[in-house]
């Protein structure tokens, strides 16, 4: 076993590809840490973040730089956000209060489905048809 450990100290490390472009960055700022992987065009594709107060997120990006997937833990709970074409998105959450749910939207960003379970374990499902007549199940 090697007892002569070498320690390199820095506020930021950059991994440079053979083409000279930055491909990954490990940085420490504002009490947190970020690890970002970039594609050939230099735009972020994957980012892993941890804040100084114990919160964390994992974000994945489309080639055009738009965030497509976000998984996060914050002071409200745990969240998964999926972005689709246009303004379409799906959102799954589990709140610290005990509530959980799923929200689905169409390509225009209009809510089409909400399925929630409150802290009291009572389910609530709402469907929003295209004609905007709300239906409760």
52-69 pLDDT tens trace? 888 999 999 998 888 999
Nearest Cα to 103, choosing from 93, 67, 72? 93
With 0.75 as the threshold, say if the pTM is over it.
Answer: yes
Distance CA 135, CA 15 (A): 53
7-63 pLDDT tens trace? 888 899 999 988 888 999 999 988 899 999 998 778 899 999 999 888 999 999 998
CB 55 within 8 A of CB 45: no
115-131 pLDDT tens trace? 999 999 899 999 988 77
The partner residues of 77 in beta bridges, in order of sequence, read 74, 95
Q: What is the mean pLDDT of residues 83-110?
A: 94
Q: Residue 137's pLDDT is what? A: 55
Sketch the domain layout of the chain as residue ranges. Answer: 1-56, 76-137
């Amino acid at each position: 076993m090697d007892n002569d450990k070498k320690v390199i100290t820095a506020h930021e490390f950059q991994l440079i590809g053979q083409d000279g472009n930055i491909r990954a960055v490990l940085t420490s700022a504002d009490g947190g840490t970020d690890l970002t992987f970039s594609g050939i065009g230099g735009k972020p594709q994957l980012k892993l973040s941890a804040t100084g107060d114990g919160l964390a997120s994992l974000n994945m990006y489309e080639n055009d730089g738009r965030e497509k997937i976000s998984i996060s833990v914050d002071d409200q709970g745990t969240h998964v956000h999926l972005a689709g074409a246009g303004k379409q998105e799906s959102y799954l959450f589990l709140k610290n209060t005990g509530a959980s749910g799923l929200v689905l939207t169409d390509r225009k960003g209009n809510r089409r489905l909400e399925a929630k379970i409150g802290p009291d374990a009572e389910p609530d499902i709402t469907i929003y048809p295209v004609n905007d007549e709300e239906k409760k199940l």
